Amino acid sequence: MADIEALTIGAGSRVTMFFTLSLEDGTVADATENNEPFTFTMGDGSLIEGLELMLYGLKVGDKQCLSIEPQDAFGFSDIENIHTLPLETFSSDLPTEPGTVIEFETPSGEKIPGTIEVVKENEIIVDFNHPLAGHTIVFAVEILEIQAAVSRTVS
């Protein structure tokens, strides 16, 4: 009988996995919780490209843990993404302590997170860079299931 080659992760594969995304010091930034795996399709935007790249070629049962440099993960902080906003633009019931992450809405209606950096008498400095920008991250995965990419034919 011929050996059946194990299905590996490729473009368009549907992947179910456990993962932990952490900083080099062990601080966990995101992870699957309560034994609930994460399922997504490669290339659908659920993961940034740098994280997806480390999954290509893995098979069911594979475990992998890699450090990913900032340029391949969430990039570097950009000074252009740090803004000073008037204190009166913040609701009085909104927490404004440094380190607090608040969801802001752009003029186009897009929702983006901002981290409060400094609170002054009449203004607040907010960092709109991704909270993991500038950090080397550690991405650990365990692959539970892979479904082959579905190819569509045009009639």
Handedness of CA 74, 46, 23, 56 (dihedral sign): negative
The CATH number of residue 60's host domain is: 3.10.50.40
What average pLDDT does the segment 134-138 reach?
95
61 and 22 share one domain: yes
Q: Are 43 and 117 members of one domain?
A: no
- Decide if 144 contacts 152 (C-beta within 8 A): no
Give the chain's count of helices (H) and strands (E): 1, 9
Q: How many domains does the chain contain in total?
A: 2
pLDDT value at residue 35: 85
Q: Judge whether 97 lies within some domain.
A: yes
Phi then psi for residue 53, to 5 deg, are -55, -35
Query: Which residue intervals of 27-92 are DSSP H helices?
Result: 49-53
Mean of per-residue pLDDT scores for the chain: 90
**Domain coverage including residue 88:** 79-127
Same domain? For 70 and 21 the reply is yes
The string of pLDDT tens digits covering residues 87-134 is 888 888 888 889 998 898 888 999 988 999 999 989 999 999 998 999
pTM over 0.85: no
Provide the pLDDT for residue 151. Answer: 64
DSSP 52: H
CB 115 within 8 Å of CB 101: yes
Q: Judge if 69 and 83 occupy the same domain.
A: no
What is the CATH classification number for the domain harbouring 105?
2.40.10.330
User: What burial letters (b/e) apply to 94-108, b meaning 16+ CB within 10 Å?
Assistant: eeeeeeeebeeeeee
